[in-house]
Structures are given as C-alpha cells and as structure tokens.
Amino acid sequence: MFLQGWTSFCFMQSFSCGGASVVYYTVQPLPSSYEAPCKIVVIPIFQTNNDSLDTPDRIIEALQGGFQIEWTGNYEECEKCTGSGGECGFDGNNFQCFCKDGPYSASCKEKSKVQLPTMIFIIVPTIISVALFFFCYYMVKRKSSLDHFRFPKYWVFTPKKSIKSVLKENFGNESATLEPLQFNLSILKAATNNFSDENRIGKGGFGEVYKGILHDGRQIAIKKLSKSSMQGSNEFKNEVLVIAKLQHRNLVTLIGFCLEEQNKILIYKYVPNKSLDYFLFDSQRPKLSWFQRYNIIGGIAQGILYLHEFSTLKVIHRDLKPSNVLLDENMVPKISDFGLARIIEINQDQGGTNRIVGTFGYMPPEYAMFGQFSDKLDVFSFGVMILEIITGKKNLSSYEPHRVADGLLSYVWRQWREETLLGVLDSSIKDNYSEIEVIRCIHIGLLCVQQNPDVRPTMATIVSYLSSYLIDLPTPQEPAFFLHERIHPISLAQESGCNQSANRSIPFSVNKMSISDFIPR
C-alpha cells in the first residue's frame, strides 16, 4: 500500500500495517500522535527521485541513490585534523576531529602538546636553583676554613685558554708558525699509555723521557719536564724556537710540543739507541769499535758546522757533551738538548752573558770565568768530546792514583809531550783501529781545547782536517784545564755575575798557563 502526501489525519487513523512487505513513503512529517503498529524508519532522498515513486522498486532505487548533506566548516581546521591522523566531523553544531583514541576539538593528541615543554621549563630551573642554594650554603659554612687557602690561578673557575692564546702568551710573534707543532695532551697520554712506567725510557734532573707510538704508527720520544727541573720556561721556549727551524741529519728532529695543564713537554722523533755517554762511560756499556767512534766524531762535527755556518740561524749550542748526543739505529749521532742554545747574528763573532749555564768540564775558561761566548765555545766542548770518545774516560776524573783531580786534558797533553799517544786509547778497542786516524783525531782534539779561543780552529777547518789527511795540522799549545773539588762534572744553571769577584766564587781555578817548547811529532 502506498501513501503519498496525505492531508487528513482521519485517513491515517484507518490505516494499519499488517504485513512486513508493505512499503510506504511520505513527503510530509508524521504526526507525533500516530500510533500505527508499524516500524517507522525515516530516510531522506534526493528531490529529483521523488517524482517517480509509483512502485516499490522505484522507492528502493531512490533509497539506494542516497541523499545530499551540506555543512559549513573551517577548511584549515580540517587540514590540521587530517594532518594529525584524524577525520573531520561534527558533534551537533561543533567541529570535531575523530581520532583513534576518541574525538578532539581540533587535532589528535592536542591535550598533551604543551605538557612536556612546560614541565621542562618548570623542573630544570628548580633543580638548578636548589643546587646553587646548597652550594652557597656549603661555601658559607666552610668560609672560616677556606680563608687561609689560596686557589691557584688555573683552578676550575678559570676558563680554559685556547691553543692560540697559549701560544701567543709563550711565543709571541712566533706563535703562528709554531701552531702546527702543538700536540694535545690526550694524544700524548694515549701514545704512552698515560705516561706509564713501562713506557719510561729515561729519567734525570730535567724530568722523564717516555717512548710513545702515535695513531699513525710513528715512534716518538716524549721529554716531560718536571716542575722542579732546572730547565725552566725560558729554556723550554728557547729549545722549541731554535730546533723547530733546524733540519740536519746530525740533529734531533723536533716533532712538536705541549703546554697543556701546566705541562712543558717536547716531542722528538724516536732514536732507538741511548746517548753517547752510555756507550763511553756506563759500566754495562757495549763495545764501541774504532770505526763507529770515528764516524761519530765526524757526524758531531757536521752537526755543529751546520749550526754555526749553514743553518738559517747562527746557533751556539753551549752545552755540548756526550749525554746530549743521541745515537740512532745506525749509530749516527744526533745532537740534542737546545735549551741553553743562543742565537747570534750571522756576522757576529761573540757575545756575553751574566748567566753562566752549561756543564763544567766542557766550558772554555773565557766562558766559565767571564761569560764570553762565541762559536769557539762549541769548538772547545767538541774537543773535549773527541778526547772522551777516544779514551773512554770522562773529563775531570782521576786516572792515576798519585795525581789528584788530574783532568783528561792534562792527561792527554802529557802523553802528547811524551809521544805515547796510543797509550790513551780505550783498551776495549784493542788492535782493530787505524793508528793514523787515532793520532790525527787526538791532535785535532788538542787544537780545540787550547786556552786562547783565537787559536782554536773553526768547525769548518775541523771538518776539513777530518776529511783530508793532506792538510797539515798546526802544533797545539798547552790546553786549558781546571782543577775541581769534585770528581765528576756537574750541570750548572744559576745566576753568576761576570765581574771578577763573582767569578772567584766559582769553585774552579785555572792552571798556570805556560807556552812550552813545541815538540814535533
């Protein structure tokens, strides 16, 4: 039965629904008083489908065609909702964003969006304030015990200086060129297993020497100066500034340095053998052949010649001695320890100082007594070393029981005058040597240690003497030598005035010099 657009309620009162197959429709709303025993479902349809509802099939087709809904909303709100993973919708007249965990008024999870930043903003300042309060309270309570304590300038409150500022403070205008040589302390700790005893290869008054291996496999020797070392900041800076500009086969190679955490550390290329004094004077020393000794003498001469004449700087070492000569795997000598070196002008012949530094036994008299130095200072030290290398004896030691404090120079000089020079040769050499080379080297050594610096040969002349037997050597004068109260040489790095009264306080005396008759060979 079909019902279309009724106008009388009485008609409806007579209508009844008795079967489930009955389909009806209306374009008007049903009255609230309608009590027919029917299940009523109100479904809107398109207006265009309302004109041909004359059969049940047409009604079903109209219902399947759906209906149109129009609503007014904010596009930006919907975009925000879908962007957060929700679906846009309405709840009554209000926009809703339907999410997996329920509807929200704007977007999904909007309820917790501002919670975390707010918590951080509140909690972090609170914790910092409480910590500062307790710290201040603790410091006030400890005030009486802290009044007598002076914090060092490098305490934790002092900001860490940059590498550039440290270099500028220590090396001035030279800092820019030295910056590539600066090492971080952490790298040196890693290379030496935190400066472990297993890596320590030497120890002295200056500090300790460690062997290390860098990350690239290079072996290095690290000289870590102790805070009580006599080699102070000036000597450390001097060594860096001097040796960083020098490159020669017979000089040690400086790889870098470190000034972190109040440390003064020098990093060199590792030299596997020990210093020359070990091979000459140590009770457990290995044998050193004459061939090796002769090459060592020649190598040291080449290194000193480079310092005096062929480097970009004219350098006076001022502390040449066997302990400052290292030997590499091929027994090639490497001059080291430039902390006391002085740079002079290329055309400058000599200089002066009020600060006498170096090692007695290797100083010429004009320097030890009056502070005058020149390249002839190194020549004198080299001459002493030549005689020590040949004899295996240290200068300023007693070699004959009936002669007290008889120095090496006077010992060799007597053998020269008595024409028994081969008697001074180290007994460990035995018969495997060149007599001509031994005598010529002793002759050169005596020329180097003459009292008057003006008659000592230059290093260039010495190298020519060693290179050619065709050059005649002049007859040496009596050497300068000292009688010392002690048996072994000692290092000195103290202030000493250059006036005569101050010089007399030095516990050395100069033997009366005499020009003896020349004794031809």
Residues contributing to the annotated binding site for ATP: 224
Task: Say if CB 315 and CB 337 are below 8 A apart.
Answer: no
Per-residue CA distances from 150 to 140, 228, 322, 494 (Å): 16, 21, 44, 30
Binding residues: 224
Residue 365 to residues 92, 482, 503, Cα–Cα distance (Å)? 113, 9, 11
SS3 for 31? Answer: coil
What tokens were used for 44? 């809107």
Q: What is the CB neighbour count within 10 angstroms for residue 455?
A: 12
Task: Answer yes or no: are the C-beta atoms of 316 and 377 closer than 8 Å.
Answer: yes
- CA–CA distance, 260 with 358 (Å, rounded to integer): 28
Give, in order, the Cα–Cα distances in Å from 237 to each of 111, 174, 257: 66, 11, 10
CA distance linking residue 18 with residue 22, whole number of Å: 8
> In the Cβ-directed half-sphere of 332, how many Cα atoms lie within 13 Å?
11
Position of tokens 């002085």?
342
d(CA 149, CA 243): 41
Three-state secondary-structure class, residue 441: helix
Identify which of 446, 383, 247 has the alpha carbon closest to the alpha carbon of residue 375. 383
Q: What's the CA gap between 96 and 94, in Å, rounded?
A: 6
- 3 state DSSP class of 365: helix
> From residue 314, how far is each of 33, 242, 252, 375, 464 by CA, in Å?
125, 10, 17, 9, 20
Judge whether 240 and 252 are in contact, CB under 8 Å. Answer: no
Closest CA to 352 of 339, 362, 342, 364: 342
Q: CA 387, 389, 395, 401 torsion: positive or negative?
A: negative
In angstroms, what CA-CA distances link 103 with 91, 95, 108, 109? 9, 10, 8, 10
Give the residue carrying structure tokens 């704007």: 106
| Residues 426, 391 contacting (CB under 8 angstroms) | yes
SS3 call for 304: helix
What is the maximum span of the chain, computed from C-alpha positions, in angstroms?
A: 168
Give catalytic residue positions.
Answer: 319
Using CA of residue 267, residue 270, residue 271, residue 274, what is the dihedral sign?
A: positive
